[in-house]
Structure 1
């Protein structure tokens, strides 16, 4: 006897690498890396630039993971003509370890080697540790000297080199308290070239450091083994994500292994997951990869009901969930640039979302006369909306103004005196954040009603009977105040609320609909019959042999107290 029949499914354990020191890497299981490796283990096509103190590219656990320019020789000559001398294993833009090899990115501090090992130490090779991505290539870029210090110029040169070599991701585990316009420009150059940028938020338990604070950079805070925020981890409005950053066991400069703590080691955890995401799907762009990373994150207590917060950003990373996450539907997204701006109608409210990080929403509207135009934006809790209002003339921006009066989660509103013309709105989040909750946009100025009409002008109802809904239409449809006031001349006969006419007692009344200022109105005459007075019903017309016309009425003809006008209406042919 069979109770049920079903397939005998195969199951398997998550991938546990055979690296001899894997048991010291608590953070990998904590972010579900074994389940992630079941899905994907990386691609050698992904290049991750580590901008740091250099990398010990001879470390046994990194040897196979290092980017190599086989067209270059160490001879003081730019052999391949790419503009960089002796860039065999990467490049040095600061004081080198060996003055006789000024462009060699060999690590002389140890910090960069630790970062590189977290990202990409060879996995499942029966030795040492496992990196997050077992196949990507590490591009060492030494921008910090042996003391761990660098300059704006060394960093900018390192970013430029990484772009030139086709880096997919740049990891920056360093920070400064002040920004630099030139560094910001270099960061944006990388982002616009399709590079994903990741940086440590900083270790001073204060506001986020640069370059993590620049908008296109994914800023990373640190967490501990119980998902608490690390006491040293910087936080603030610009924080994007969090990752383990305490007792992170990794490769070191001495061809061995050691532990470190700090957001410097949280950032490469994030970079390793992004490397897997971008290898798994080569078509995704940086902000899509960032969205997958953030929307799949685990939000620790007591913030589990919030989409984002100061201390964890969108949460602590979860690698396996990130690799199975889907991107949001963008079919209803507003235009991403001025040329594709979505048209909007004055005095109507529009609902939109910032579905992805660094989402720009563009809108276009027309003002037909000089008017006081108000722009209102209702903002969800996660976002800090910034809006630019622009007017074009002869194909160029002739005038622009910014609307940024309120902090995160607070609504924006501003009124301008605008002349006739075409205007554009660019709406984005100050920190490049996204939200599943929509914002609401309304552009308004006074547009009076030119007419109001009812769908019926005569109505017969029965006292105590079914109510009737009168429908009023205002022209134009986008009047600034669409409020309709309803009145009954004899409310004791028929009352009216929002167009619903309720018969009360027999008699006649006039129902009037009017605009708020009373400039436009229309009326309907309502006759209410008593409940025992039913409208006469003509059932059929007959003729006999003498061609006499007979009108056949319903049974209530003789008992009905209808007046002469009702009788005429009933027999009208």
Structure 2
């Protein structure tokens, strides 16, 4: 591979030993840009919608007339060569025949002893979404037990979520019915359109139509979002934009605010706006940052804001996730799938992006769960919602609260009242567990992986670009 000066190498042992070079994640104004690996979803890979409801291919349900005698019922089954699963003395039986179900249904309907008959339709747990990208491309959601949480609640109710970002593609089919009027802090006469894509992706993670047979499943299932454009079409914005966005969202009924943005600098005016929002009962969630170092990232670093770090699908901290004492909780933020603006979708593709990476995409997962928690316990204060999410998190990394995962990995099911489950394996911090602490590599080196999830970083310094061969045994 070709490397630049001060190239970083990451050696890890998740399930199988692998080696990979660091992929730099950059963002203007602290946003998590759409990563270089982001790709649209080809329309020709979209599954065909089912032509009709599924049913058992060999059986039908038969309801006999109350006046039908036992002998009449037996005769009816004999004529169709049917076998009941219960005694024919029951008024309703499931009948299996030697012909396809549709043909069997016609035969039993023609019998004078039968009052009603129907195909034996198949049902499934209603909380399992039928969105065609959910099963294969959103496998990270079960790791934070969002799928189980939907068995407890699938409604954000009146807990409106404001997304402060680059705006939204208001006509996206997977966001239809989930968007409320928004606000454009750059020009209040214009709608909060999204010329970047970041905001549309963040919004989809929270509130894409769930179980609507298309696209992805939104975490908050049927949430309503107010899109607030505080970043321009290049992903840039100032604190003035963010402050105006927060104030507008509060005035217009937002109960949860997601901010997948940030940067350096502690601004007391911004902090005041955040404290005022919390005083009005609003929960604020923000991305911890993509710097890979421990410098505070604002607004996530403010104590009133729930700061979210990013992990892989399986709970390993990503190399880009900003860490430190201000991180409160972690959630998947690598290889995420979400909605994309139609204007940025090439012909032959559907308006979805695969491979999104950054804390920008872990934050809305937490914000969506926060909306579900608020709806279940509407009297909770913002501090109580934050405490609930942190207290029910699954410990990951060093035991207890740590600067990498905060309280641990989000556990949506436990947060909504489900049973506790096991913590993630210990992956304790050592001398080179983060990019900023990479060990200079000049020749061969050896390392011991103590537990699954342990990661060691190495740095190769070179005065000029050159080829480097790395052998991992």
TM-score, normalization: structure 1? Answer: 0.49
Residues 292 and 325, structure 1, Cα contact 8 Å, conserved in 2 = no
CA distance in 1, matches of 2:412, 2:378: 17
1:311 is matched with which residue?
404
Deviation at 1:14, TM superposition (A): 7.9
Residues 208 and 239, structure 1, Cα contact 8 Å, conserved in 2 = no
CA distance in 1, matches of 2:406, 2:353: 28
Residues 93 and 103, structure 1, Cα contact 8 Å, conserved in 2 = no
RMSD value, Cα: 1.8
- Stretch deviating more after TM superposition (291-300 or 214-223): 291-300
The structure whose RCO (Cα within 8 Å, separation 6+) is larger is 2
1:126 is matched with which residue?
213
Deviation at 1:135, TM superposition (A): 1.7
CA distance in 2, matches of 1:180, 1:281: 32
2:396 is matched with which residue?
300
1:197 is matched with which residue?
284
> What's the secondary structure of 2:209's corresponding residue?
coil
Structure 1: 5+ residue stretches without partners: 1-11, 68-88, 327-573
> Pairwise mapping of residues 50-69 of structure 1 onto structure 2 (< 5 A)?
50-67=163-180
The answer on 1:91 being equivalent to 2:91 is no
CA distance in 2, matches of 1:210, 1:27: 26
Residues 14 and 34, structure 1, Cα contact 8 Å, conserved in 2 = no
Closer/same/farther in 2, CA of residues 63 and 13 from structure 1, 3 Å limit: closer
1:148 is matched with which residue?
235
Deviation at 1:225, TM superposition (A): 2.0
Q: Which one has a larger percent helix, Structure 1 or Structure 2?
A: 2
1:17 is matched with which residue?
129
1:222 is matched with which residue?
310
CA distance in 1, matches of 2:328, 2:285: 10
Q: Which one has a larger percent strand, Structure 1 or Structure 2?
A: 1
Write out per-residue CA displacement over residues 506-552 of structure 1, whole angstroms, 9 at most, x where no aligned residue: xxxxxxxxxxxxxxxxxxxxxxxxxxxxxxxxxxxxxxxxxxxxxxx
1:158 is matched with which residue?
245
> What's the secondary structure of 2:140's corresponding residue?
helix
The answer on 1:30 being equivalent to 2:126 is no
Structure index of larger Rg: 1
> What's the secondary structure of 2:177's corresponding residue?
helix
CA distance in 2, matches of 1:29, 1:124: 16
> What's the secondary structure of 2:296's corresponding residue?
coil
2:453 is matched with which residue?
none
The answer on 1:273 being equivalent to 2:369 is yes
Residues 143 and 315, structure 2, Cα contact 8 Å, conserved in 1 = no
Moved beyond 6 Å, runs of 4+: none
CA distance in 2, matches of 1:241, 1:116: 20
Deviation at 1:325, TM superposition (A): 6.3
Residues 306 and 329, structure 2, Cα contact 8 Å, conserved in 1 = yes
Residues 14 and 35, structure 1, Cα contact 8 Å, conserved in 2 = no
Give the length in aligned residue pairs.
287
2:120 is matched with which residue?
none
The answer on 1:250 being equivalent to 2:338 is yes
1:106 is matched with which residue?
193
TM-score, normalization: structure 2? Answer: 0.59
1:137 is matched with which residue?
224
